[in-house]
Chains A and B, each alone.
Chain A
Amino acid sequence: MPENQQPRIGVYICHCGGNISGAVQCESVAKALKGLPNVTITRTDESMCSDAGQSLIEKDIQELGINRVVVGACAPMLHEQTFRGAVTRAGLNPFLYHHVGLREQDSWVHGHDKTAATDKALRLMSAGVAKARLLQPLDPIRLGAEKHALVIGGGVAGLRAALDIARQGLRVTLIEKSPFLGGRMAQLETVFPTEEEARALLHDLIQKVTAHPNVTIFMGAEVMGVSGYVGNFTIQVKQHSRGVSDDNAEALMSACTQEVPDPFNYGLTKRKVIYRPYEGCYSSTPAVDWDHYDGRPFDVNGWPIELKDEPKSFELNVGAVVVATGFDPYTPPQGEYGFGELPQVVTLPQLIRHLALSKDGKSLQWNGRAVRDVALIHCVGSRQVDGVHQPQEDGQVNNYCSRVCCTASLHMTADLHKRYPELNIYDLHQDIRTYGRGHEEYYRHALEDGVRFLRYNGEEVPEVSPAPQGDSHPVLVKVKDMLTYGEEIEIPVDLVVLAVGFMPRDLHGLDKMLKISRGNDRFLLEVHPKLRPVETAVKGVILAGSAQGPMNIQESLSAASAAAAKVASLLGRGKVELPPFVAAVDVEKCNGTGACVEACVYEGAIALQTFNENGEEVKRAVITPANCVGCGACVAVCPNNAVNVQGWTLAQYEAMVEAIGMDLPAMTEVTA
């Protein structure tokens, strides 16, 4: 085994295409490191992570007998795995590799001071070398994986993810919080860009999902707790009662008199507390709206029948979790563009529902009046500007673009024009972002249809106010229009439509249970926005659809299928590998104080066990690697230094600290 011989360390410094070499004199650092004990070779390269760069390492291992490797490059998050791979290919244990972050930790932050950056690089690298001398081969923790995934959310993304996971030959359980499947898409009518019926598309998808033998669905269900790790998550689920069955549903529904605003129609209509959101919904069995049901018994043929929610709790064992919890449309605060104050101000999702409920006729009716002129305002709740817009609870405005609303708006104007050709439509936007395949066509049609486009600046948003008494129209919209060279234009209208953006749903702690981070925009955060767009920082927890950021249906579908591909790669073999950076106890040193067990917050990670030592009963700490996260809390409290995190031992830390503080003889020369 080469690893047990004297350390022969190979040291490699990456220019990172100028990212590092722009601030750090890589060649000088390499030269200075050459003199360190056990360093057999130092090299620099334009791009160590390239195939050519990796081959350098492989060749040195094979030809020079290098048995420890240190690379100074970008952040370990990006390329530690890459180099461990190269080391493995050359026949060395992958954990005889140490990665030094010279870019994020050095060149990017000290670019203004090249001498200091070079000095720091040298110290970081020399610490890396010091650690490398003490590296020992390690084996990853290999565990069986459940070939079963959980999908949370039964909108179009969750449904598609479930279907595609099932099609990869894995079992899948889908949990939907509401008693019905379909999510926001069910609230749409025809959809861009295909002009297909949203609910018909959903119906097809739901049929495929429910027909698939690998799929189990729980509606009216929520996740209450999560434990475990990739391959072996345990999920606590609570499922509410439906409250009615197919046998008694019709009788109970007609007996029910309690009505509440219907969220399916965004409060435009009312519905009973025993309900189906729409005809043709899945499941077709109605459900009780427990959040609103006042608990009074129903009178069915003279019999008082009281309904009770008797939630069931159960556990699921799954190997991976796909989060597809979707979005909420932005709700403007009272008074933004007259919303909540003027009855003539509605949101785009509301107008979609209103049109679905409206009969065809000569004119669009709103509030009992014919609408002759309508103004549509873009970017409501999106692309907000600090100081101009009211911030959300976290003090931040929504400074992102919601990407769907422009095309959804022009899709709406097309629909309005088709149904009510006499209607005058004003479209107030900043930029028209019809970016997708088949989207620009809606913009062109809107121009042909005579939609009047006005353009405002983000800092000077339009004003919506009640028109003076006696005006022909109830509402006045004022806008400084950049298409007419900044002219102040007043538009009297009967209806104002706010193209509201996307907001992430309130997840009631689900994100914390799963340890998913959120971005500045509050949407769920992917681990790398470019390279790993559907994975999170937690292995085995994957994102799908608009929970991650605004997306249209097509994009939600693609993200969902991509999530399924990731699940299949993780679980398809029925095994997972976890990194070996977990605590390990030196039984020689342990005398069973139990301080470590007290310090550990992870269930089942460390425990005292009784052993027989020379006929004497002794207690010793024992680690269960699968439950240990390697946080090191136990290491810090052990009075005997008997615990170490493998791959990051106390001895290694000490060597690194010592090296980092030491001036190398060559250093003065290098950084002078």
Chain B
Amino acid sequence: MDDLHMDALVIGGGIAGMQSALDLGDQGFQVALVERDPSIGGRMITLSKVFPTLDCCSCITTPKMSAVAHHPNIHLYTYCEIQSVQEHGAGFDVSILQKPRYVDISKCTGCRECEYECPITVPSPFDRNLGAYRAIRVPFSTAVPQKAVLDPEYCLWCGKCEQKCPVEAIDFSQQPETFTIEADSIIMATGFDLTPVSTKKEYGAGKLHNVIDPLMMERFLAPTGPYGRVLRPGDGKEPGSIAYVQCAGSRDETLGITYCSRVCCMYAIKQAMLLNGALPMADITIYYMDIRTFGKGYEQFYQNAKAMGVNFVRGKVASIREDADQNPILKVEMTDTGEIVEQTFDLVVLSQGIVPASHPTVSLPLGSDGFISVPAPDSAPCVTGRPGIFVTGTAAGPMDIVDSIVSASAAAAEASAYIRENGSRLEVEKEALYA
């Protein structure tokens, strides 16, 4: 591939990265959006409904994805890894590795014939491994781009897909390719992962059958989810009682994660409300230290959940074990009474917090919390420690979708000002554009 010039390069195609790219593209800048997964959409596309509006998540995410895909000024590079970032004047040379899809995306139409033919079933990370898909597949029904990708880890190279593909798009000979983009500015939108609980032995270290993470619950609740209903992963039974353990992996010195993850109170309340609809008979209890529903309309959302009958119990969950029937048993120190009680549930959701997703090879100063450092949050909330590189969304610390979108537009404003002030290499075209 040729070397390319761009005004801005956005790393990460979640909601934050997409919004930054759209804001820059709308202003007429040329933007590269680089995503490591085969589709853009980030975490948001995997959610069920979003608080506080309870909009269906794919309904509000897919149009953004589509707008990015069709934008004349946005150039999408999916399934790519950043290899290095080198200063070049006021801008950067970014070296990027295109991972092989084993599918020629200029030919693939997304018809999925290959997928229907493939004999190998593999767990689907899109469904938090609750569901399965094929070794070659379009990653999920609303993926952008709608192009197949083959997973070499599982593929038996049986060649069935190649025979079946009507447009001869399968290409087993693809190799990783490296190319360089020259960009005047960079926006980091690399997002988050859940706080790992594998070291949290008190909570079963991820080994208890009916203790799940909140993204799994999102998939259970999503209309496009693997089962279309909520069930216990341990035995497929419908749960009659569900507990949420708040601050599981946040505000927890023993894990070294002392900050508040900001979104867990709200997603737990949201899931509780959705569960109330999906399983009207189920009892839902949320164990918490503080309920932090601080956003616009969020306190009212919390009060609505209380009125719906969701149990909010102030208590610290000391430990979780399971009984012979794999029912999780919580040991709770009740704040309001001082008692220590044990309570058995059918299903437990650990309201895990947010940690930074693994970073690409962009060396940037990090904060003590591990997120990309923002040296002057009270004067420049999107500016990192490296000139020309900006940060948005959960790459800059826990935040919800609306805060991510605001920060994404703010990062776009910073980046565009930087591009103008530091003499864009595309100045000639830009002048024409703004004339």
Identify the A interface with B (CB < 8 A): 15-19, 46-47, 49-55, 74, 78-79, 82, 85, 89, 164, 167-169, 191, 193-194, 196, 201, 204-205, 383, 399-401, 403, 406, 431-441, 444, 455, 482-483, 485-486, 519-521, 523, 529-531, 533-534, 548-549, 553-555, 557-566, 568-569, 572-574
Which listed residue (A78, A438, A455, A568) contacts B413, Cβ 8 A?
A: A568
Render B27-66 as a binary contact track against A, CB cut-off 8 A, 1 for contact: 1100000000000000000000010110111111011111
Given contacts A19-B56, A89-B70, A440-B260, whether A562 and B413 have CB atoms under 8 Å apart is: yes
Residues of A within 8 A of B293 (CB): 401
CA distance A439 to B222 in the complex (A): 33
Interface residues of B in 417-435 (CB under 8 A from A): 417, 420-421, 433-435
Given contacts A53-B62, A74-B59, 20 further A-B contacts (CB under 8 A): A17-B224, A49-B63, A50-B63, A50-B65, A51-B62, A51-B142, A51-B143, A85-B70, A164-B413, A167-B416, A193-B378, A399-B303, A401-B293, A435-B294, A439-B260, A558-B410, A561-B381, A562-B409, A565-B413, A572-B27
Question: Contact: B382 with A49, CB < 8 Å?
Answer: no
Given contacts A533-B405, A562-B409, whether A82 and B291 have CB atoms under 8 Å apart is: no
CA distance A17 to B338 in the complex (A): 45
Question: Contact: A168 with B53, CB < 8 Å?
Answer: no
Question: Contact: B416 with A562, CB < 8 Å?
Answer: no
Residues of B within 8 A of A572 (CB): 27-28, 433-434
Residues of B within 8 A of A196 (CB): 378-379
CA distance A260 to B144 in the complex (A): 63
Question: Contact: B377 with A435, CB < 8 Å?
Answer: no
Determine how close the nearest CB of chain B comes to the CB of A95; give it in whole angstroms: 19
A535 nearest CB neighbor, chain B only: B409
Question: Contact: B381 with A554, CB < 8 Å?
Answer: yes
Determine how close the nearest CB of chain A comes to the CB of B60; give it in whole angstroms: 6
Question: Contact: B406 with A562, CB < 8 Å?
Answer: yes
Question: Contact: A433 with B62, CB < 8 Å?
Answer: no
Question: Contact: B410 with A561, CB < 8 Å?
Answer: yes
Determine how close the nearest CB of chain A comes to the CB of B435; give it in whole angstroms: 8
Render B289-313 as a binary contact track against A, CB cut-off 8 A, 1 for contact: 0111111111110010000000000
CA distance A369 to B406 in the complex (A): 47
CA distance A530 to B61 in the complex (A): 11
Question: Contact: A554 with B417, CB < 8 Å?
Answer: no
CA distance A569 to B374 in the complex (A): 26
Render B382-418 as a binary contact track against A, CB cut-off 8 A, 1 for contact: 1000000000000011100111011111111110110
Question: Contact: A529 with B296, CB < 8 Å?
Answer: yes
Residues of B within 8 A of A383 (CB): 299
B392 nearest CB neighbor, chain A only: A558
Question: Contact: A194 with B421, CB < 8 Å?
Answer: no
Residues of A within 8 A of B145 (CB): 51
Q: List 23 A-B contacts (CB under 8 A).
A: A17-B57, A49-B62, A51-B145, A164-B417, A191-B378, A196-B378, A196-B379, A201-B378, A204-B379, A401-B294, A431-B290, A529-B402, A530-B402, A534-B409, A548-B296, A557-B378, A559-B406, A561-B382, A561-B413, A561-B414, A563-B409, A572-B433, A572-B434
CA distance A17 to B55 in the complex (A): 10
CA distance A79 to B69 in the complex (A): 16
Task: In the A-B complex, list the 7 residue pairs whose CB atoms are closest, starting with the nearest.
Answer: A18-B223, A562-B409, A561-B410, A167-B417, A431-B290, A50-B62, A50-B142
CA distance A205 to B379 in the complex (A): 8
B417 nearest CB neighbor, chain A only: A167
A52 nearest CB neighbor, chain B only: B146
CA distance A440 to B299 in the complex (A): 20
Given contacts A54-B66, A533-B405, A561-B409, whether A167 and B421 have CB atoms under 8 Å apart is: yes
Given contacts A50-B141, A74-B59, A167-B420, whether A557 and B381 have CB atoms under 8 Å apart is: yes
Question: Contact: A435 with B262, CB < 8 Å?
Answer: yes
CA distance A530 to B26 in the complex (A): 20
Which listed residue (B62, B290, B396) contacts A47, Cβ 8 A?
A: B62
Question: Contact: B66 with A50, CB < 8 Å?
Answer: yes
Interface residues of B in 53-88 (CB under 8 A from A): 53, 55-60, 62-67, 69-70
CA distance A19 to B336 in the complex (A): 40
Residues of B within 8 A of A50 (CB): 58, 62-63, 65-66, 141-142
Identify the B interface with A (CB < 8 A): 23, 26-28, 50, 52-53, 55-60, 62-67, 69-70, 110, 141-146, 222-224, 251, 258-260, 262, 290-300, 303, 314, 335-338, 367, 369, 371, 374, 376-382, 396-398, 401-403, 405-414, 416-417, 420-421, 433-435
Determine how close the nearest CB of chain B comes to the CB of A386; give it in whole angstroms: 10
Determine how close the nearest CB of chain A comes to the CB of B111; give it in whole angstroms: 11
Question: Contact: A435 with B66, CB < 8 Å?
Answer: no
Residues of B within 8 A of A554 (CB): 377-378, 381
Which listed residue (B56, B141, B314, B336) contacts A16, Cβ 8 A?
A: B56
Most buried by A among B27, B300, B374: B27
Which listed residue (B66, B144, B434) contacts A574, Cβ 8 A?
A: B434
Determine how close the nearest CB of chain B comes to the CB of A162; give it in whole angstroms: 12
Question: Contact: A201 with B379, CB < 8 Å?
Answer: yes
CA distance A483 to B338 in the complex (A): 8
Residues of B within 8 A of A401 (CB): 293-294, 298-299
Residues of B within 8 A of A566 (CB): 23, 409
B110 nearest CB neighbor, chain A only: A52
Given contacts A54-B66, A440-B258, A486-B336, whether A565 and B23 have CB atoms under 8 Å apart is: yes
Question: Contact: B297 with A530, CB < 8 Å?
Answer: no
Residues of A within 8 A of B146 (CB): 51-52, 55
Which listed residue (A82, A191, A563) contacts B63, Cβ 8 A?
A: A82
Most buried by B among A16, A401, A403: A401
Residues of B within 8 A of A435 (CB): 260, 262, 292, 294
Residues of A within 8 A of B291 (CB): 431
Determine how close the nearest CB of chain A comes to the CB of B31; give it in whole angstroms: 13
Question: Contact: A565 with B410, CB < 8 Å?
Answer: yes
Residues of B within 8 A of A519 (CB): 296-297
A567 nearest CB neighbor, chain B only: B413
Question: Contact: B70 with A482, CB < 8 Å?
Answer: no
Question: Contact: A433 with B292, CB < 8 Å?
Answer: yes
Determine how close the nearest CB of chain A comes to the CB of B251; give it in whole angstroms: 6
A437 nearest CB neighbor, chain B only: B397
CA distance A572 to B26 in the complex (A): 9
Residues of A within 8 A of B110 (CB): 52
Determine how close the nearest CB of chain A comes to the CB of B77; give it in whole angstroms: 17
Question: Contact: B59 with A444, CB < 8 Å?
Answer: no
Residues of B within 8 A of A204 (CB): 379
B369 nearest CB neighbor, chain A only: A437
CA distance A529 to B55 in the complex (A): 11
Determine how close the nearest CB of chain B comes to the CB of A334; give it in whole angstroms: 26
Determine how close the nearest CB of chain A comes to the CB of B16; give it in whole angstroms: 12
